[in-house]
Amino acid sequence: MARRTDPDDVLDLVRGCASGDAAARHAFQERYAEDIYNFPVKIYRISAESAADFYCYVFERDRIFSRLRTFQGRNRIQFRTFLAYYVLKSLLLEWQRGNRELESVAASDRLEDQASEDAQDRPESEGTAELWAALSPEERLDLKLLSLLEHELTPDDVRLLARASRRTLRQTLDVLGEVEAGLRRKDMGISKLRDELDAVWGWMVLRRRELQEIDEKLRLLGADHDSQERRSLLERRQRLEESLAKRGRQRERLLGEIRGFKMTTPYKDIARLLNSTVGTVCSRIFRLRQRLERRWQPEEARQ
């Protein structure tokens, strides 16, 4: 049976989070990470990849902890109800209204790009080498799991993953193979979308050239020239403009689908590899990202 949360315990936890207590914030993430991650997926049908970005957004700049200050437990309101419909709903609308998704994705991509470089263990600078050396084996594994499509795990990585997931090596390799196969299918999917986008763009370039030729012919005929040739040209131009508008919408749709692809490993797959929950993975990656960004800050300031 699930443990019932004591209201006083929640109030103490909220007060600790609002005051900046690191242990309280860690406990809050462990307890409510799954609720926060699942909220936009279940309520607003947002993709799992975007849900991970939203998760990072709510904790950045202490946004969620600032809003938790108002919780007093009055009128017998349950904390999870308050969290979902007063805090997370407000943050989600703010995130979408301010186009925060692009900002969050860019920040996540920065971490994932770092993972891609570091996983090769070929640092481009002394600062990157020091950063990589300062990470624990578990943190390095988390970074490598984020870029699993591009970098195979070493035997030591696989053994560490087996211990972390409490699986045998054979079971670990089986799950790893299934996740990698899914990532390769996704990679093939985005390659097909790019091919389709190239074909659409090529068609549009040709039709726009034809439209320019038609406009030149109409100019030479003159506005006062009424003939079957002019009427045919005008009809052809209208059909071309309609077709170009349709292809333009198709191109925007394809671009949207391509932008929606993230070739890093989805959190749900990392959770499966670690034999853990998505919420726990969100917490781990977010805390790792915070540590990395704190280490980057002095270098960025110098640049």
Q: Is residue 270 part of a domain?
A: no
**Do 79 and 117 belong together in one domain?**
yes
Q: Is the pLDDT of residue 93 over 90?
A: no
Q: What are phi and psi of 252, to 5 degrees?
A: -65, -40
pLDDT digits (tens, 9 = 90+) for 246-273: 999 988 888 887 776 666 788 888 889 9
pLDDT of residue 98: 62
- Report how far apart the first and last C-alpha atoms of the chain are (Å, whole number): 54
Q: Kindly report the pTM of this predicted structure.
A: 0.56
Q: Confirm if 269 and 179 have CB atoms less than 8 A apart.
A: yes
Six-digit token pair at 280?
Answer: 């726990």
Q: Is residue 168 part of a domain?
A: no
Rg of the chain (C-alpha set): 26
**Do 3 and 133 belong together in one domain?**
yes
**Do 19 and 92 belong together in one domain?**
yes
pLDDT digits (tens, 9 = 90+) for 122-137: 444 455 677 777 788 8
Tell me the CA distances in angstroms from 269 to 40, 149, 179, 278, one per residue in order.
18, 12, 7, 9
**Do 82 and 196 belong together in one domain?**
no
> What is the phi-psi region of residue 226: left when phi exceeds 0, alpha when psi lies from -120 to 50, beta otherwise?
beta
pLDDT of residue 159: 92
Q: How confident is the model at residue 40 (pLDDT cuts 50, 70, 90)?
A: confident
Q: Is residue 19 part of a domain?
A: yes
Q: Is the pLDDT of residue 78 over 80?
A: yes
**Do 16 and 138 belong together in one domain?**
yes
Q: Confirm if 24 and 62 have CB atoms less than 8 A apart.
A: no
Mark 242-275 as b/e (b = at least 16 C-beta within 10 Å). eebeeeeeebeebeeeeeeebebbbbbbbbbbbe
**Total structural domains in the chain?**
2
Q: Is the pLDDT of residue 166 over 90?
A: yes
**Do 121 and 196 belong together in one domain?**
no
Question: What sign has the CA pseudo-torsion 136, 137, 138, 142?
Answer: positive
**Do 100 and 203 belong together in one domain?**
no
Domain that holds residue 251: 181-260
The residue written with tokens 């703010």 in the block is 94
Q: Is residue 268 part of a domain?
A: no
